[in-house]
Structure 1
Amino acid sequence: MSFKSSYLNEVYEGLAKRNAEQKEFLQAVREVFESLEPVVAAHPGLEKNGIMERLTEPERAVLFRVPWVDDSGKVRVNRGYRVQFSSAIGPYKGGLRFHPSVNLSIIKFLGFEQTFKNSLTGLPMGGGKGGSDFDPKGKSDTEVMRFCQSFMTELYRHIGPNCDVPAGDIGVGGREIGYLFGQYKRIRNEFTGVLTGKGIPYGGSLARTEATGYGLCYFTKEMLAANGMSFEGKKIVISGSGNVATYANQKATQLGGRVIAMSDSNGYIVDENGIDYKVIKEIKEVKRARIKTYPEYVSGAKYVEGSSGIWNVPCDIALPCATQNELPLEGAKALVSNGCKAVAEGANMPSTPEAIAYLQANNILFAPAKASNAGGVATSGLEMSQNSLRLSWTFDEVDERLHNIMKNIYANAAQAAEIYGMKGNLVAGANIAGFTKVADAMIAHGIV
């Protein structure tokens, strides 16, 4: 499929030729370009200033080796990445992902998406992402510590509170952030807000842990309200059982919904009485066990092998919160046939393009990740602010700021879609609203 704009075609074809193997990155760029067709047509200055060419090439991409020693004394080597995509509106900001699937394509796609997501928050943050193909699962605390210390021994050269502020992502939780921060402080001999998602005793923000899941529900609440609906009495399916999914469960339940299914990479559970997020936390964070053990805690719940089947569970609202491309066309068809009314993305790019097109064609309310899961990075931005001010806000203060940010993201995305003749299309609206701010800043800075 080609774009109507010859300019977008030229840029994309060149990008695809140079990055032919990077399918996730190209998928993300194509989805954004499709939304920006009317913007490019209305603003010829974008082509004159080479905005699309500059925006799709990261300002900097660093690949490095990470040697570490396992508990048996064997030397292991992993790859580390940091892609600094855009600093047009602020320091690079984006998480670190430790997972075997990590490669340059995935880190570039995440960094590209992060640029627009951060722009949507209204906070002064650019876009970046990083990580490693290291897998923390099954590793001892000392092995994770050794890896994190080795990773930071290279990464510290490229980050700083006014340059690049990483955070956590898949495989990088409080434990990993603590080890990374400790090594940074040790090397640099300074205590600065160089990482977010830190523990409360050493500069972390209250409500950061809950932020992405809460923010997802706040955005979904606005989307539902604009269409005469609410969470009240709705049956909800949430894929995943990590941080985002767990706190999306909590907030959706507080807003009157009932979460009836959750999953992990092995399978999913169904509990028509409502899944208890506290039990999920116990299983995943304390026991570090699989979700299949949930029926051992709650009678009446059942476990089904195979996580992809979760989309066959009839629901009113679906919140994909696991990983990229987890909701395929088949899943979208199952949701539509079972009467689903809204889908809001909690993970990064969890729905395939075919699934999104099918949902939109069948009038399902759809919230794209760069808007609906921006709560995590928004609260990371609030953590940066607290670190700079040497202050600590209360949970309620941070939560209120988060709620307002998500309301504004919805309003701005909905307005942008309407301005360009695509009312109700939040995918296009989020891309346009996020892009416009970044492009304006790039033009103002000159050719840099």
Structure 2
Amino acid sequence: MTNAKKYVQTIQEKLHQQDRGEVEFLQAIDEVLPTVTHFLENHPEYIEQNILGILVEPERIIQFRVPWQDDQGNWCVNRGYRIQYNSALGPYKGGLRFHPSVNLSILKFLAFEQIFKNSLTGLPIGGGKGGSDFDPKGKSDGEIMRFCQSFMLELSKHIGPSLDVPAGDIGVGGREIGYLFGAYKRIKQYDAGVLTGKPLNFWGSKVRTEATGYGLVYFVKHLLAQEQDSFTDKTVFVSGSGNVAIYAIEKAQALGAKVVTCSDSSGFIYDPTGIDLDLLKEVKEKNRQRLTEYAAQKTSAVYHEGKSVWSLEEVCEIALPCATQNEITGELAEILVKNGVQIVAEGANMPATVEAVSAFHDAGVWYCPGKAANAGGVAVSALEMSQNSQRLTWESEQVDQQLDEIMQTIYETCRQTAAEYDEEKNLLLGANIAGFAKVAEAMSAQGLV
């Protein structure tokens, strides 16, 4: 066993002991750490400095209570969090998630992944994440507003345009960002750059809503191009029906693909004629309805209650999981392989389990990890920060072009880095090493901080 391998295993064992029970965080640790062993073997100075041991510990974990009042006058309370994980490359940057599943383990895993995702963009941003176990579903606008104001009352003490710049995530869209921004400027002062994902009428960036979905498809587009192929006439499965899924569908269709699925928390739609994007946007964005309404209005669509998109046994050439973590198990991955999948690109964070990733690699499927493939959202968030600093608003074409170029650079970086370790098709290894190397170099240069 090499010194590097022994060093990495020691860190893993320590974290499994200290953070036992934090399933999602430990899964992310076990995915990333073994792959950077190869890099550490060539850079023993980082072992001597214990850079990896320092990096896996968050710089700061903030937890706070969020009391708020519902429409009936009842006092309620939720937990709020902000994980400020690593600032070696710039201010902490990462979304806020409002969902009942939110806990310390999930946010630590998301923030840890965010470090490497942000590093891969080439933009000056560190890694962080936050949120609450508050569930916006079924709440009135007034209840959501009061919750956001209470949440920001505490969060405002820990963020700023040069310190920590949150954005949206699951359960936090333009409405929530608007309420959070309004509360911040009343508590502190007006500063456009303190949050990203803002509505366009107060310093939001064009293409930010579409960015993660568009960026995901751009990543795959560049992979296909290098393989002398394209999206034209490809059959695509997509999971989810939020921003990421909707705009991945939009861009894939624009590039000639036929997208035949989408899903929500209750089941999935299979529409062999292709997803009707206008109807999907009306159901999900305008009316905030379930996908059963889509099926009710489109006779070619079948709604599969309580089932996973990935259980569908139909031809699938490209899979874009855009829902949530661990949605593709090893068993479901085997179904995808049988369906003829060629590329799996993650629009969500860690949607494939360790067993699923292994099944894709064994079958020779191109697996594009979320830290690379879904970096488009945070990339445009960083561009929004630049626009706010300049007091400028860029046109959609300029932002979209920069997004495409950033995703091309991320893809090429992952593939070239993997090739350096004689594993050109292992984009997971390429993404992890390339993201880690940049952060490790910065941490080393800045000293033991």
1:310 shift after superposition = 3.7
Contact 2:95 2:166 in 1 (8 A): yes
Q: For the residues of structure 2 that align with 1:311 and 1:403, how far apart are their CA atoms? A: 32
User: What residue is the counterpart of 2:180 in the other structure?
Assistant: 180
State whether residues 323 and 350 of structure 1, in contact with CA within 8 Å, keep that contact through their aligned partners in structure 2.
yes
**Counterpart in the other structure of 1:85:** 85
1:47 Cα shift? 1.2
Q: Structure 2 stretches of 5 or more lacking a match?
A: none
- TM-score, with normalisation over the residues of structure 1? 0.98
Deviations 1:291-345 (A, max 9, x none): 1111222221111112314442421111000000001111110011111111100
Q: Which residue of 1 aligns with 2:50?
A: 50
Deviation at 1:189, TM superposition (A): 2.2
- The whole-number CA distance in structure 1 between the counterparts of 2:3 and 2:249 is 39
1:236 and 2:236 aligned: yes
SS in 1 for 2:181: helix
Local SS of the residue matching 2:195: coil
Equivalent in the alignment of 2:121: 121
Inter-CA distance 208–135: structure 2 relative to 1 (3 Å threshold)? same
Letter aligned with residue 404 of structure 1: E
Give the aligned partner of residue 253 of structure 2.
253
Cα deviation per residue 1:354-397 (whole Å; 9 max; x = unaligned)? 00110111011110000000000000000000000100000000
Structure-1 residue corresponding to 2:214:
214
Q: Please state if 1:269 is matched with 2:257.
A: no
Question: SS of the residue aligned with 2:134?
Answer: coil
The letter of the residue matching 1:373 is: N
CA distance in 1: counterparts of 2:125 and 2:300, whole angstroms: 46
**Which AA in structure 2 matches 1:26?**
L
CA distance in 2, matches of 1:307, 1:123: 39
* Offset of residue 3 of structure 1: 10
Q: CA RMSD in A?
A: 1.2
Give the letter aligned to residue 95 of structure 1. G
Residues 14-413 of structure 1 mapped to structure 2, 5 A cutoff:
14-312=14-312, 313-413=314-414
Contact 1:238/1:320 (CA < 8 Å) preserved in 2? yes
Distance 1:248 1:192 in 2: 28
What residue in structure 2 maps to residue 447 of structure 1? 448
CA contact (8 A) 1:168 1:197 kept: yes
Q: One-letter code of the match for 2:207?
A: A
| Separation in structure 1 between the aligned mates of residue 380 and residue 308 of structure 2, nearest angstrom | 30
Task: State the secondary structure of the residue aligned to 2:308.
Answer: helix
Q: Which amino acid aligns with 2:431?
A: A
Indicate if the aligned counterparts of 1:264 and 1:307 stay in contact, CA closer than 8 A.
no
CA distance in 2, matches of 1:338, 1:229: 19
Are the aligned partners of 1:263 and 1:307 in contact in 2 as well (CA < 8 Å)? no
Structure 1 runs of 4+ with >6 Å offset: none
Describe the superposition over 1:84-117 as per-residue Cα deviations: whole angstroms up to 9, x where unpaired.
0000000000000000000000000000000000
Shift of 1:204: 0.1
Q: What TM-score results when the alignment is normalised by the length of structure 2?
A: 0.98
* Amino acid across the alignment from 1:202: F
Aligned residue pair count: 447
Gaps of 5+ in 1: none
| Paired residue type of 1:80 | G
Q: Is the partner of 1:327 in helix, strand or coil?
A: coil
Distance 1:88 1:154 in 2: 25
Q: Cα 1:179–1:3, aligned 2, differ >3 Å: closer, same or farther?
A: farther
